[in-house]
Amino acid sequence: MALSKDLCGILAVGVEKERKAHEIYVAAAERTSHPLGKKMFRRLAEEETKHEQLLASWATQGVCPAVSGPAPADKDWLARQLAKVAAAEKPNAGDLEAIELGRQMELKSIQFYTDCAAKAPDPPSKGLFLRLKGEEDKHLAMLTDLYEFMANPGVWQTREGKAHFDS
């Protein structure tokens, strides 16, 4: 089955976005000093690679031309994001900045896949994009939780442990 030119273009953009996210998360894992942050960024990098492969497979099975992706609108975006990860001077501040960068990337991915689902020409394509949106929602929740833990562990433990204060 041949896919429409528009859907092939969306898939190509998705492949490129996932590839870039993988690279950014790998760089963040190398830069982050907190072991929990390193572990989470490595996990996110692996998951972004799976997303890239899923989109590329969908394009291949749907008979799109080779999915190498169109030139991004902003060719320097990846370099700027990697520079933000590398620029942090204070370990904890750098960890928090890297996590916030990841959160912003996930928010953009959530919006991208939401828009793709709305434009999808058929139910299977829509399902694919909603599945990826759901996975990006989980990534955002994980990064938000890690950020809150690292920024203020005492409050996080009280909240997550369901502890309360007695008068």
Does residue 14 fall inside a structural domain? yes
Does residue 34 fall inside a structural domain? yes
Does residue 39 fall inside a structural domain? yes
Summarised one tens digit per residue, pLDDT across range 11-25 is 888 898 899 999 989
Number of domains in the chain: 1
Q: Kindly report the average pLDDT of the chain as a whole number.
A: 79
Q: What are phi and psi of 64, to 5 degrees?
A: -100, 160
Summarised one tens digit per residue, pLDDT across range 104-119 is 999 999 999 999 999 8
Q: Is a pLDDT exceeding 80 seen at residue 72?
A: no
Q: Are 98 and 28 in contact (CB under 8 A)?
A: yes
Does residue 132 fall inside a structural domain? yes
At residue 141 the predicted structure's pLDDT band, cuts being 50, 70 and 90, is very high
> Can you give the pLDDT at residue 151?
82
Distance, in Å, from the CA atom of 83 to the CA atom of 125, rounded to the nearest integer, reads 35
> Can you give the pLDDT at residue 58?
85
Cβ partners under 8 Å of residue 74, min gap 6: none
- What's the CATH number where 41 sits? 1.20.1260.10
Q: Are 135 and 113 in contact (CB under 8 A)?
A: no
Does residue 83 fall inside a structural domain? yes
Does residue 167 fall inside a structural domain? no
Range scoring the smallest mean pLDDT among 3-12, 35-44, 121-130: 3-12
> Can you give the pLDDT at residue 82?
56
Domain that holds residue 46: 5-69+76-160
Backbone φ/ψ region at 130: left (φ over 0), alpha (ψ -120 to 50), beta: alpha
The DSSP code for 74 is S
Summarised one tens digit per residue, pLDDT across range 83-105 is 665 554 444 557 888 889 899 99
Mean pLDDT of 13-40: 89
Does residue 166 fall inside a structural domain? no
Is the pTM of the predicted complex or chain greater than 0.95?
no
Does residue 165 fall inside a structural domain? no
